[in-house]
Amino acid sequence: MNPALLWLIAGVVLVVAEVLSGEFVLVMLGVAAFGAAGASALGVPLPLDAAVFAALGLGLIFLARPALKRRVQIQRELKTNVDALVGKTAIVESTVDAHQGQVRMDGELWSARAFDETQVLQVGETVTVMEISGATAVVWAEP
């Protein structure tokens, strides 16, 4: 069997196996195997193919992988959906107390209740969203 085809198969197997691990090691080795397959297809002898694989594998694991992991970690830290609303400011549209009220946040009208049950927030006040409970924004205003 042609060495280029073997390198290509190894690369595909490694990249597919990466789906199960998620650590970006196997995909780096898979890309290195693709590089070795390319070198083999150009007629490079097998020992040089192995050297290409080793050099690419080490380079990708120690140079590209840390940068890729940092980027993925940053994306995991991004807040989405209701988590992204906590900490935002809103404007009271109708009086907010411990049981009911409405605020406008990012142009949308939300039902709201006061975080501090003793607070009664008047129309026009700026409040901070402390949490989202179901479809209700729990808000608080600096006294």
pLDDT digits (tens, 9 = 90+) for 29-65: 999 999 999 999 999 999 999 999 999 999 999 999 9
> What is the pTM (predicted TM-score) of this model?
0.52
Cα–Cα distance between 110 and 85 in angstroms, integer? 11
Candidates 2.120.10.80, 3.40.50.740, 2.40.50.140, 2.60.40.10; CATH matching 82-140:
2.40.50.140
| Number of DSSP helices (H) and strands (E) in the chain, helices first | 4, 5
pLDDT digits (tens, 9 = 90+) for 1-23: 788 999 899 999 998 998 888 78
103 forms beta bridges with: 92, 110
Residue range(s) occupied by CATH 2.40.50.140 in the chain? 82-140
